[in-house]
Structure 1
């Protein structure tokens, strides 16, 4: 009888522990602030530098690229869901002069509001092309991370290094005219582009998530770098008292990622053809971060 009593108590303790662990996982939440830095350091013999010598608009673009951009983002997340959103800022006094303006846009959803569902492996992202809003719904990209033994401490967290090298497909142009249009884009002018994504993650926060669309590592991504963009964790609050706002973008036409990318590329080519007819805005798409 005593043995049965002890067995029953052990069973109840085990059941309680499992229930407590499940509830703790369900209740876990955090709010992190990341800083995204994008800056281009163009060599004197680069394609863009040479074009800037004879093109006044390109010269202004080059000056802005060298100054770079800095923006803060908030990542609110549980173990299975997250919302990544830009911290709103007041407009810069004075604003752009002579009708010239330039915006930085980045891949991996870094420059836009994005909701991720890790269980369903899907995302909902806010997109914008020439002022038109889109809601991009699709499957989360798969990152085939290579986990390395290299470590470093970022703030209070022990971090491990991981890299991912995307497969860059070579596109054969149909004719010389199409090739010329492609080479006139801003992306083609960035020499020695390296698509490698380098991430630093910490198992101290066992959540397979990170800024933008980045995810898939055995710990929260603290820092990530691709091309000219670096994103770094500034601060994090574990289990904040206030309720999280896991935003799902709703404003705009619904579209998948592939169709959005094709439409964006088409509009960029049209814009480059019309460049020089007026002092319109310049749209820069930086691959990274």
Structure 2
């Protein structure tokens, strides 16, 4: 790393520490609105294209993934706590085709109602599997961010770039039987062009709170923009110290479970659904794509 880059980052961290200490001496709260864009690039795969001609679920999946989604979220936060929740659905699921409708949410806990406690390094997140509610309680994921000197202006804020490359990438593969009893992989991951796993974030020390949308956190300033695989989340607007009281709600509806057990159960139920699908009306909801 170049000396000038080290100096800049050191100054940035020092400035954050001073601002954080000053802010801790007074009550601080804020309400931010984020827009999450998710869109997938699908490979020109003749096998999947052919499969889509005879399988309405695969066809509906491919059409909805190409279309993508756009959703609005609110992040209400103090120095140590936050609540992140969907405001409204800006893009509705595609109209049912042959009785099948498709919807999906993005990675990184973006599509979930989530309460974070930065001080306790914990989160409580709402989950749902086939209509059954769960309350996921676990430790916040650890992001070993690499701070870079690159900057850009996002709205009125000067933002710095940070990147994180996950050590392990989980891949969910679902195998189903076609009409000829041949096993064909029709998983979501098999339809999507493999994306760079690097998480890129832009944060501003002007708002010295180590928080951000979804599960993202751990930078010396509020995360204003973040991109992970097919999803980009961008700050739309923010109100510092609003007059109204914040609603830092904790998900409470459903069976309590940790993240690992929830992911395992979700995978199991998805596999069962894909194997048992045959006839009649139905819907397919991908609760999480990419982690």
Normalising to structure 2: TM-score of the pair? 0.82
Deviation at 1:102, TM superposition (A): 1.4
- Which residue matches 2:5? none
- Which residue matches 1:205? 207
- Which residue matches 1:45? 45
RMSD, matched Cα: 2.8
Asked if 2 retains the 8 angstrom alpha-carbon contact of 1:38 and 1:229, the reply is yes
Q: Distance in 1 between matches of 2:247 and 2:24?
A: 22
- Which residue matches 2:7? none
Larger mean CA deviation between 261-270 and 61-70 belongs to: 61-70
Q: Distance in 2 between matches of 1:185 and 1:258?
A: 20
Asked if 1 retains the 8 angstrom alpha-carbon contact of 2:56 and 2:100, the reply is no
1:226 to 2:223 alignment: no
Runs of 4+ in 1 over 6 A off after TM superposition: none
Q: Distance in 2 between matches of 1:91 and 1:70?
A: 6
Aligned residues: 263
- Aligned runs of 1:65-104 on 2, under 5 Å? 65-89=65-89, 96=96, 98-104=98-104
Q: Distance in 1 between matches of 2:118 and 2:93?
A: 40
Deviation at 1:285, TM superposition (A): 4.9
Cα distance 1:66–1:92, how it changes in 2: closer, same or farther (>3 A)? closer
Of structures 1 and 2, the larger Rg is shown by 1
Deviation at 1:49, TM superposition (A): 4.0
Secondary structure (helix, strand or coil) at the match of 1:141 reads coil
- Which residue matches 2:276? 274
Cα distance 1:47–1:143, how it changes in 2: closer, same or farther (>3 A)? farther
Q: Distance in 2 between matches of 1:274 and 1:96?
A: 19
Asked if 1 retains the 8 angstrom alpha-carbon contact of 2:62 and 2:191, the reply is no
Show structure 1 runs of 5+ residues with no match.
Answer: 1-18
Cα distance 1:259–1:53, how it changes in 2: closer, same or farther (>3 A)? same
Secondary structure (helix, strand or coil) at the match of 2:263 reads helix
- Which residue matches 1:162? 162
Deviation at 1:276, TM superposition (A): 3.3
Asked if 2 retains the 8 angstrom alpha-carbon contact of 1:42 and 1:49, the reply is no
- Which residue matches 2:218? 216
Normalising to structure 1: TM-score of the pair? 0.82
Cα distance 1:250–1:46, how it changes in 2: closer, same or farther (>3 A)? farther
